[in-house]
A and B are shown apart, each in its own frame.
Chain A
């Protein structure tokens, strides 16, 4: 999962011959099936406008929040549960900041609930639920490391989205907010990475 995100980012940065190894190190020396990892995925074609970036960003934050909340009940370590709770809270703050930005861009006074239900939810139509996502990537929920690895991959994906959206944004306020959120996602990645390191020390 992390390798997939790394491969995608390298391609975005202009690398030409990048391959993602199916199954990672665990598949070393074993027979593995070909090509199933892409099934059902369609191209996500960048962000066209500030407004769209905010809508997609909000959807991503809802997804991240739901992911952390859902995982809280599945992980066994108390420290992981606490970490996921903290990260989930920060994603809520991001949602609030994004809806404030949306109000500014569109000069409307839309409530966070209306924004989420009438604008963001329809834009997420056809996406996958958190459960479906987990099934697609065959994450072993009994493995704390795999869950943490997926969280890291999703945060890296969010960082990538915000940075690309910020660069394309024509308004400086929008760019600033998106860069700020991107920096926080970057700190989440650092936090998750350090946490994985500590867990590895303990086991």
Chain B
């Protein structure tokens, strides 16, 4: 049994690159999005990161802005 390749290429960045994106964004308005579960978040997260667990992403889309940079972890 083989898996199909289900994952489309997306931009991956290191933390270092993520900070460069912040420096280059006017007003430093970059959203850091944490898609883990609330308790994982509680145990340690990036200060200021927005928590939206993966399972809730679809119904909470309006909380995110389409044209602002979003860095997800």
A residues with a Cβ closer than 8 A to B are: 2-11, 13-25, 27-29, 32, 34-35, 37-38, 41-44, 56, 59-60, 62-63, 66, 121, 123-130, 133, 145, 149, 152-153, 156-157, 161, 189-190, 192-193, 196-197, 200-201
A13 vs chain B, min Cβ distance (A): 6
| A16, A124, A145, A190: the one within 8 Å of B3 (CB) | A124
A146 vs chain B, min Cβ distance (A): 11
The B interface, classified by DSSP as helix, strand, loop or mixed, is: loop
> In the complex, are the beta carbons of A22 and B40 less than 8 A apart?
no
> In the complex, are the beta carbons of B72 and A21 less than 8 A apart?
yes
| A37, A44, A196: the one within 8 Å of B12 (CB) | A37
B3 vs chain A, min Cβ distance (A): 4
> In the complex, are the beta carbons of B3 and A128 less than 8 A apart?
yes
Instruction: Across the interface, name the chain A residue whose C-beta is closest to B73.
Output: A21
> In the complex, are the beta carbons of B54 and A6 less than 8 A apart?
yes
5 A-B pairs closest in CB distance = A127-B2, A200-B39, A21-B73, A17-B69, A3-B72
Q: How many A-B residue pairs have CB under 8 A?
A: 173
B interface size (C-beta, 8 A): 45
Question: CB within 8 Å of A: which of B20-37?
Answer: 21, 33-37
> In the complex, are the beta carbons of A153 and B54 less than 8 A apart?
yes
Q: Which residues of B contact A200 (CB under 8 A)?
A: 37, 39-40, 43
| Distance, CA A121 to CA B4, complexed state (A) | 10
Given contacts A156-B55, A190-B55, whether A17 and B70 have CB atoms under 8 Å apart is: yes
> In the complex, are the beta carbons of B38 and A19 less than 8 A apart?
no
Q: Which residues of B contact A29 (CB under 8 A)?
A: 15
> In the complex, are the beta carbons of B14 and A23 less than 8 A apart?
yes
> In the complex, are the beta carbons of A19 and B54 less than 8 A apart?
no
| A24, A130, A157, A201: the one within 8 Å of B1 (CB) | A130
| B3, B15, B54: the one within 8 Å of A133 (CB) | B3
Which of B1, B9, B13, B68 has most A Cβ within 10 Å? B1
Given contacts A21-B18, A193-B37, whether A14 and B3 have CB atoms under 8 Å apart is: no
Which of A25, A35, A157, A200 has most B Cβ within 10 Å? A25
Q: Which residues of A contact B57 (CB under 8 A)?
A: 6, 9-10
| A7, A62, A189: the one within 8 Å of B10 (CB) | A7
Q: Which residues of A contact B8 (CB under 8 A)?
A: 8, 11, 41, 43-44
> In the complex, are the beta carbons of A63 and B64 less than 8 A apart?
no
A86 vs chain B, min Cβ distance (A): 18
